[in-house]
A and B are shown apart, each in its own frame.
Chain A
């Protein structure tokens, strides 16, 4: 069974940093591109970042470019999001999600999602 479990969320002050993790199981993690998607309270979905299976291709939303860094450790079946210079508008539930097909294929749908971890940026 495919499982994605996010952790690392919490309360942080504006300007602070946080590192989110996503532990994957039930599939060959190293074969799939992975993604981070966030959802502010009461708002819609916003794509944050994507990383290909071997980390060769990395993409960011303009809203986080230069502040957030996506990475992965295939030996540990884990996905990460390092978030720096956090702002109030970064407050959201952060989901990790798997690309639907193995290998690299831009524009793939996300077929499995974690339950999310809440990040609150407030003084």
Chain B
């Protein structure tokens, strides 16, 4: 089965840039979606189909996807960006979520 690997945690200084990777075999050939989840809350879609932002999501959130790695970038990080982030793809008639990354804003 297809696997998506994310770093367990990423730390970023307030106002700086955080990059969260999502690794998978030839993931560049798939559409990657990203979700943000804060404690006790349901996930929120922040990037879809690699690099598209839903309405209401700040421009500070961006995404890219190539080769074996997809990346979610959070620019000018704010305290409110502290959360768990998950990537997601569709493979062989199943959805697969990444292992999740906890982002801490210092």
Chain A residues within CB distance 8 Å of chain B? 35, 37, 44-47, 50, 59, 61-62, 95, 97, 100, 106-107, 109-111, 113-116
Sorting the interface of chain B by its residue count into under 10, 10 to 19, 20 to 34 or 35 or more gives: 20 to 34
Chain B residues within CB distance 8 Å of chain A? 1, 30-31, 33, 35, 37, 41-45, 48-49, 54, 84, 86, 88-90, 93-100
Interface contacts (Cβ under 8 Å), in number, total 61
Contact of B1 among A62, A97, A107 (CB under 8 A): A62
Assuming A45-B88, A111-B54, A113-B44, what are 5 further A-B pairs, CB within 8 angstroms? A44-B86, A62-B94, A107-B89, A107-B95, A113-B43
> Distance (Å) between the CB of B27 and the closest chain A CB?
13
User: Which residues of chain A have C-beta atoms less than 8 A from B93's C-beta?
Assistant: 59, 106
**What is the predominant secondary structure among interface residues of chain B facing chain A?**
strand
User: Which residues of chain B have C-beta atoms less than 8 A from A111's C-beta?
Assistant: 45, 48, 54
